[in-house]
Structure 1
Amino acid sequence: MELVATAVERLASNKHLGREEVRDAVAAMLDGQAGDVETAAFLTALHIKGETGEELLGAVEAIRERMISFDSGRSGAIDTCGTGGDRAGTVNISTAAAVVVAACSVPVVKHGNRAASGKSGSSDVLAELGVAVEAEPALLRSILDDLGIAFLFAPRFHPGLRGVAPIRRRLPFRTVFNLVGPLCNPASPAFQVVGVPRESHARRMAEVLARTPSIQRAVVVRGVDGLDEVTLTGPTEVLLVEGGTISELTWTPADFGLPETHARGLGVDGPAASAALIRRTFAGEDGPVRSYILANAAAALWTVQGTPLADAVVCAAEAIDSGRAASLLERWAELSQPQA
């Protein structure tokens, strides 16, 4: 407890912590060696000060040292995951895009959790779509081998986070755990698309990805409208991580061969509404949800294969229009059930 209290005192004085200081403090929380008051104070003080890249890296190291690893058996797998926190209340774009990407024969190992600040987390909508999100690792691997997709439910693979979950739920803001969640995929995929709503967070997330040995290529995306996805309202700011370096790109709707489309048509009031929109889109319904799913699936295909964005949109559209995405989702739901 003294270690965490000392860290809180430094943070309260607006001082940055070193990587090892954060790693040790977070380790104490995950190991049950810090009280609720100390944990809440640390998370609050770090949030108010603002996290540095070094501090995020320290938290990632503590979490990854304690996670249950998942052997995907796939060297070219990708994760499509965002930090949340954009308060937009949109349909689960990255989750739907993951299904489309898998239907394009690119393996996906998606890491996710229940909603933290939004209305529908990835596990929430997948459950509505019939996928058993808490399946055993052996079943997950079997599904990945058969369909090229798996969902790794964070609480199953990060048991240490269960102890801090009640504290996180009581705090009225996102914490460092929301930021580092996408950086702690138990499968350590070689490719990632990470959505972040704030510019300052995007840079720090990219810094951690650049220092992650398993990453071959990753992009951190931020819509200029504040969406933590590729947006079609206007430009999307992109930080490309490759070879341990970070470069800046800008994607526009025209790069995808798609028209500017406002995000107001993406709103949902919960997982059931999100699941219904995804089902209708996979059944052929046109509109803004389809366009955003196509753009975000294309971003993932570009990240793994280098396919030009407009060509990747064509591939993603064919995966939907042919019925492959809908069939994959239906089969995923069937196989994920223990009795299947």
Structure 2
Amino acid sequence: MAEPDPRYVSITPLLKELANPSEWTDPVQASKIAGALSLLLDDKLNETQAAALLSLLHYKKKDQDVAVINECVRTISQAQPAVEHAAVRKIVSDRGLARGRYSGGLCEIAGTAGNATPTISVTTAASIIASPLLMIAQHGYTSATAPIPRVEPDDILPSIRPAPPALDSITPETVTEVYKSSSYALLPESSFYPGMKHANPIRRGLDIRTIFDLIGTLLHPIAENEGMEARVVGVSNPDLGPALIQALKDLGVGKALVVSGHGALDQISPEGPTSCWMLSKPVDGTSPVQIEQFQLHPSDFGLPIIPLNAVKAESCAPEEAKTLLDMLEGKLPENNPIVQFVLMHAAVLFVTSGICEAEQTGSFSGDREVITERGPGNGRWKEGLRLARQCLQSGQALRSLETYIRVSNSI
């Protein structure tokens, strides 16, 4: 019998507990699962046991357990390279972007992947378009999930031509320098969660949704109480919506929206209803954070229905990058389905942040009157779309990306 490889730690007892829970008096502790995932990210689990762990968590539905999700996020966050949060908070405050009920903090829009239909990488484009008005901290993340692995932000931005951003220069040590000049930043997974390189090949090999598709999206290098203000998270399976919004609440998030689009999308559906779970702080500032469920439709943004095949994914990162630049440079008409799809997502981020509650215009030259009409969840969705459209048409979104490229190459 071969000797065990000394590089690896055995988790056989935990695997037995997960495989045969009826043989054990107590349920598997969330801390044990979080500890095992930490071993995987530290490259201390052999591939066989790592694959068994991820498979069992999926098929036993432990990857939908809020207590497990929260414990894993907390444990993994503590083991990753630390950002200088105090410096980030000061810089964010100094930028002075507060407006309406938006306090000027960092915002993010992300998805958990697993879409039944491949669509363009909308979160990257929406993040850049929103960045003239919001501080954006887009966390680079590898979905590596079935049935449709997609092009990730970490692949798209380096494919920008002629001058891409230098993502390797964006690290926990340099991110504060980025935010001194730029209101947009992509925080690459390789620098902020380097241990994921040990998990991603196994996830791809399994070809099933794993717990990393949820906790990887919830993880963020900047904590909720250290500068992060608002988050939009998409999930393709609406059954996971309640678990995700509760996890965000338990993690201390004050403003969040979880969305699940018609047709198994981890995005806002352009052709049908989208189930939404919103987490918001009451205006009085003293009442508990509230969760509200509702549905959104393209008409709530003042948009027509757009078939999914009109916003399908490009075949590779360079093509996605070209589409992104064409949009930002005004080469795509306003009624282009991809433009409308992206603007809708930027609008959602604006509403979630609270900036749509501002009663006065003034962000852009020739700014039109605020649209005060409210829709589902009491949100000003049409105002969000108006702001998104102005960020794009004014050229400020393009300038925001250009600033990020320049800063990243100068660090």
Q: Distance in 2 between matches of 1:115 and 1:333?
A: 24
Corresponding letter in the other structure for 1:172: D
C-alpha distance in 2 between matches for 1:317 and 1:193? 19
Distance 2:20 2:144 in 1: 28
Which segment drifts farther, 2-11 or 78-87? 2-11
Matched-pair identity in %: 23
Matched, 1:313 2:313: no
Q: Which residue of 2 aligns with 1:229?
A: 267
* Aligned CA distance change for structure 1 residues 3 and 194 (closer, same or farther; 3 Å): same
Which consecutive aligned stretches of 4+ in structure 1 deviate over 6 angstroms post-superposition?
none
State the 1:95 CA deviation. Answer: 0.7
Partners of 1:64 and 1:29 in 2: how far apart? 14
Determine whether 1:326 maps to 2:337. Answer: no
Q: CA, structure 1 residues 144+88, in 2 after alignment: closer, same or farther (shift >3 Å)? A: farther
Aligned equivalent of 1:161, options 196, 205, 211: 196
Could you tell me which residue of structure 2 aligns to residue 131 of structure 1? 165
Q: TM-score, normalised by structure 1?
A: 0.92
1:98 aligns with 2:127: yes
Report the equivalent of 1:195: 234
**1:66/1:158 contact within 8 Å kept:** no
Distance 2:318 2:42 in 1: 35
Give the whole-Å Cα distance in 2 for the aligned partners of 1:135 and 1:173.
33
SS at match of 1:190: strand
**Unaligned runs of at least 5 residues, structure 2:** 1-7, 93-103, 281-287, 357-379
| Map of 1:304 onto structure 2 | 353
Moved more, 146-155 or 23-32: 23-32
Q: Read off the aligned partner of 1:194 and give its amino acid letter.
A: V
Measure how far apart 1:239 and its partner are: 0.8
Which residue of structure 2 lines up, in the alignment, with residue 261 of structure 1?
306
2:296 paired residue number: 251
User: Structure 1 residues 184-193 or 130-139, which shifts more?
Assistant: 130-139
1:116 aligned to 141, 144, 149, which one? 144
1:11 aligns with 2:18: yes
* Alignment check: 8 A CA contact 1:203 1:239 kept: yes
The residue identity in structure 2 corresponding to 1:269 is S
Q: In structure 2, what is the Cα distance between the partners aligned to 1:271 and 1:121?
A: 8
User: 3-state DSSP class of the match of 1:134?
Assistant: helix
TM-superposed deviation, 1:304? 0.7
**TM-score under structure 2 normalisation?**
0.77
Root mean square deviation, CA, Å: 2.0
In structure 2, do the counterparts of structure 1 residues 14 and 204 end up closer, same or farther at CA, with 3 Å as the change threshold?
farther
Could you say if the C-alpha distance between residues 217 and 206 of structure 1 is closer, same or farther in structure 2, counting changes exceeding 3 Å? same
Seen in structure 2, the aligned counterparts of structure 1 residues 276 and 120 have a Cα distance that, compared at 3 Å, is same
| Structure holding more helix per residue | 1
Q: Secondary structure at the match of 1:249?
A: strand
**Which residue does 2:372 correspond to in 1?**
none
CA contact (8 A) 1:223 1:237 kept: yes
Q: The residue matched to 1:116 in structure 2 has which SS?
A: coil
Q: Which residue of 1 aligns with 2:108?
A: 79
2-structure distance, mates of 1:336, 1:2: 39
> Is residue 2:179 matched to residue 1:172?
no
Aligned to 1:61: 74
Where does residue 247 of structure 2 map in the other structure?
208
**What is the deviation of 1:322?**
1.0
Instruction: Give distance in 1, aligned partners of 2:235 and 2:19.
Output: 26
User: CA 1:114/1:160 → structure 2, altered by over 3 Å: closer, same or farther?
Assistant: closer
Deviations 1:119-162 (A, max 9, x none): 30111111112122222434432222212111111221123323
Q: Tell which deviates more after alignment, 223-232 or 137-146.
A: 137-146
Residues in 1 aligned to 2:179 and 2:404: alpha-carbon distance in whole angstroms? 9
Q: Return closer, same or farther for 1:14/1:97 CA change in 2, 3 Å cut-off.
A: farther
Alignment gaps of 5+ in structure 1 = none
Larger radius of gyration: 2
Q: Which amino acid aligns with 2:279?
A: V
Aligned to 1:272: 318
In structure 1, C-alpha distance between the alignment counterparts of 2:112 and 2:186, rounded to whole Å: 16
CA–CA separation in structure 1 for the residues paired with 2:125 and 2:353? 17
Distance 2:298 2:112 in 1: 22
CA distance in 1, matches of 2:234, 2:296: 14
Compared with structure 1, are the counterparts of its residues 327 and 8 closer, same or farther at alpha carbon in structure 2 (3 Å cutoff)? same
Cα shift readout 1:176-224 (whole Å, capped 9, x = no counterpart): 11211121100122210001100122222112101012x1210111102
Q: CA–CA distance in 2 between the matches of 1:218 and 1:17?
A: 29
Structure-2 change in CA distance of 1:24 and 1:53 (3 Å): same
